[in-house]
Amino acid sequence: MQLPNVAELKMIRQTFQFAKSLRWDRNTTSTRTPPPIYDELWFRWAKGLARQNHDNSNIETVIDMIDWNRILETLQSDSSLAKYTDDERQGMHLLHFVCALHPPGSVLELLLKSFPNAIFVQSANSGIIPLMIACGSNAASEIIETLLKHDTSGSGATLRITDTHGFSAVHWACREDVSSRVLQKLLLFDPMLAELIETNGSRHKITHVLFQGGRKEMLSDNQDTKLRFLLLARFKLPLDEAHFLFALHASVALECQFPVWNYLLAECATMGVDRDPFGNLPLHYAVQQKQHNIGEPTKQQWSSSQLLERVLRLSPEAASSRNRDGELPLSASLKSGFVWDKGIQALFHAYPEANCLLDPVTKLHPFCLAASFCHDLATTFMLLRQNPEHVLQRYGSK
C-alpha cells in the first residue's frame, strides 16, 4: 500500500469531517450519532489506513499518528463507548476496529474490561469477530494472546466461530500474512482446534487455505512454518521447531491433500527421512491409508498407492522396518487393501524377504493376508507365486 503524504493526510481529514457532517445532517431519523472516537477508528479501519507490517517501525503511516493516549483517556472517562454500535457499520463495536489498528495493550485491555462480550459479536454482513480481524491484520502475537485470554466461554468459542464464508480465526491466520507465531498461539491455546476444523466437513480445510493462490509447489517461509505448526498440532507433537522434520510423517498420517504431500516430499528428498518420536517412518503411515484419491477436481488425482510408492522411493530401506506393532510395511499394506499393481509389487521388490515372514498380529503369510483383507485373487496369486516353497514347508505336510 502506498502511504499518503502530509498534504494527502490533510485532505483525508477534511474529506472525512465533511462526509460526516453531510451524512449525519441527512440522517434525520437517527436518534443518536456515532461518538467521534468510534467514527474515527471505524474510518481508519474501513479505508485500510493501517500499517501492513507491525514489525517494521521505520515506516511512518497513518496508523502511527493515532493518539492512543487520547483514545485511552476518552475510554476511561466513558467506558460505555465500548458498547456503542450501529447498523450502518454492521453492528460492530470499537473492539472490532481497534483489533485491526495494532493498539497498545492498555487500550485493548480497557475495551475488553468495559465490554467483555464484544469478542463474540459477529458483524451483520460478513460474520467476522475481533479475533478474525486481528488475525487478518498482521496483529502482534501479544494481541492474539490477550483476546484468547479474555475468551470467557471456557471452551475457546472464539476459535470455532466462522464467518459467512466458513472461515474461522485459524483460517484467517493462514490466509493472511500474519506471523506464524500467531498461528502457534492459536494452536497452543487449543491443539485440538486443527483436527476439529480439518475434519468437521467444512469446505475450507486449513491446509487448503495455505495453498490458495500462487504456485502450489512452493510456500513462503512464513506459510511453510504455519503448515508445519498445523501438521504438528494435528499429529499431537509439540509445537516447536525441533519437531519440524516430522511434518511429512504428519501429512501422510493425516491424509492431507496432494499439494501438501508434493511440497513436503520434494523438500524431504534433499533432507533425508528420520524416525518420528513414535518410532515410525513416513512409509509406516502411508501403508495404513485406505484406498482413496488425493487432490482436488481441477488437479492431478493421486491414489494412496501412488503416495505409497513415492514415499518408498524416498526411503527404500523403510520396507524392511517394522512399525510399533512389529508389522512390516508389506503386511500392513495388505491389511489396508493395497493390491499387487498398486503398491504391493513395489514393497515386495524393495524387501522380498517380507513375503517369507509371518505377520506378528495374525500369524499369517502375506498371501493369506491378501486373501483375507484385500480380497484380490491376483495379489494372492502373485505373492504365492514368488515364494511357493515357504508355503509348502508350512502347509504341505498337513
Q: What is the mean pLDDT of residues 247-274?
A: 82
By the 8 A CB rule, do 348 and 386 touch?
yes
Placement of cell 479474555 in the chain: 150
pTM for the whole thing? 0.75
Question: What is the tens place of the pLDDT at every residue in 351-370?
Answer: 999 998 999 989 998 998 99
- Element (DSSP H or E) covering residue 302: strand 302-303
Is 96's pLDDT higher than 90? yes
The size of the chain, in residues, is: 398
Of 126-130, 300-304, 328-332, 364-368, where does mean pLDDT reach its minimum?
300-304
Average pLDDT, the chain: 81
Confidence of residue 7 (pLDDT cuts 50, 70, 90): low
Is 282's pLDDT higher than 50? yes
Angle at 81 (CA atoms; ends 75, 84), nearest 5 degrees: 160
Of 84-88, 114-118, 385-389, where does mean pLDDT reach its minimum?
385-389
pLDDT value for 76: 94
pLDDT value for 374: 79
Confidence of residue 269 (pLDDT cuts 50, 70, 90): confident
Q: What is the mean pLDDT of residues 160-166?
A: 90
Residue predicted with more confidence, 36 or 20: 36
- The residue type found at 155 is S
Confidence of residue 28 (pLDDT cuts 50, 70, 90): very low
Give the percent of the chain with pLDDT over 90: 36
What is the grid cell recorded at 337? 487393501
Rounded to whole angstroms, the Cα distance separating 140 from 131 reads 12
Rounded to whole angstroms, the Cα distance separating 51 from 322 reads 53
pLDDT value for 179: 87
Q: What is the mean pLDDT of residues 59-66?
A: 55
- The residue type found at 10 is K
Query: Per-residue DSSP letters for 53-87?
Result: -TT-TT---GGGG--HHHHHHHHHH-GGGGG---G
Q: Where are the domains positioned within the chain?
A: 1-190, 332-398
Burial of 235 (0-12, 13-18, 19+ CB in 10 A): buried
Q: Is the dihedral of CA 300, 304, 309, 315 positive or negative?
A: positive
| CATH number of the domain located at residue range(s) 1-190 in this protein | 1.25.40.20
Is 258's pLDDT higher than 60? yes
What is the grid cell recorded at 156? 475457546
Burial of 72 (0-12, 13-18, 19+ CB in 10 A): middle
